[in-house]
A = this chain, B = another copy of it.
């Protein structure tokens, strides 16, 4: 059983993942592992993953766990967390632990092994966005789960261990600290101004234009004012909504278009960088609020997080957002 453990000083939770248990030799071997060969995410290999929890099969449809799907969602074969059981919160002397209860799923966005967010048809991305929502809505019904995180690791440097493009979803029994901080910041700002901070960001950025990468009817793609990483870029809905799953699905087409353009611009400017994509959204149990505003953050992996960042929580970024936005704005295939 995986285990949550709490750092007694900072309150930071970590997951000690027994399912993925690694001994020293595993880390050493990993450095020389070659990719390629068999892919469990490719059509025809459905039996090599746990049974699917969701799949879109166009037309008359094909049976579960067989080819014919366009998007397929399966539990992670080596989950960081387990759906079964209860939290069983306990003390260990001065320390705190609980069972690693939660869900960990993989969203396979396309049957085609070599496509990426930048090269797959827009309709595939749109379908994946629907799949994210469908899974969140389903997991929400489990009231042990307080937060659902959807993210994508693209490229080995960004932590991807499978080449076939996919996103992941982790449902957690606690609202993570990073989210708590964002919620608190947004709530404090709203208390002061009676406005949503993200709505204010959208207005100021559209007005000044210096950090705007692109814009469509419903979304703004912008380099944030204080980016942690070079070429960090956010996709913010213009319409206020606190949770991804409550935003109008009619807008997913435009979100897919914005995400695909951004990924394609990053490929052009940075020669196909590794990146992390994270959907920031309100906790699943919360009612809609006026202060929080969901959005998507893209972080290309161009620099190393080092001692300074670990020691301070600050980041040193060698590229200003005004400059990165200019490069991305001008990039055209």
Contacts and interface: CB of A to CB of B under 8 A. Distances in A.
Given A197-B94, A306-B276, A12 B312 contact: no
B230 A22 contact: yes
Interface string A47-69: 00000000000000000000000
A147 B181 CA distance: 23
Interface size class of A (residues with CB under 8 A): 35 or more
A14 interface: yes
Copy number in this complex?
A: 2
A18 B323 CA distance: 11
Given A305-B305, A312-B172, A197 B8 contact: yes
Contacts of A94: 197, 200-201, 204
A181 B314 CA distance: 13
A153 B14 contact: no
B315 A14 contact: yes
Interface string A218-257: 0000001111101100000000000000000000000000
Contacts of A278: 307, 310-311
Given A7-B224, A14-B315, A226-B13, A24 B307 contact: no
A302 B317 CA distance: 23
A228 B305 CA distance: 14
A143 interface: no
A310 B274 CA distance: 14
Interface string A310-324: 111111111111010
Given A9-B182, A9-B197, A94-B197, 16 more contacts: A8-B189, A8-B225, A10-B181, A10-B185, A18-B320, A23-B323, A24-B231, A95-B204, A147-B312, A152-B307, A159-B303, A177-B314, A276-B307, A280-B311, A297-B310, A305-B305
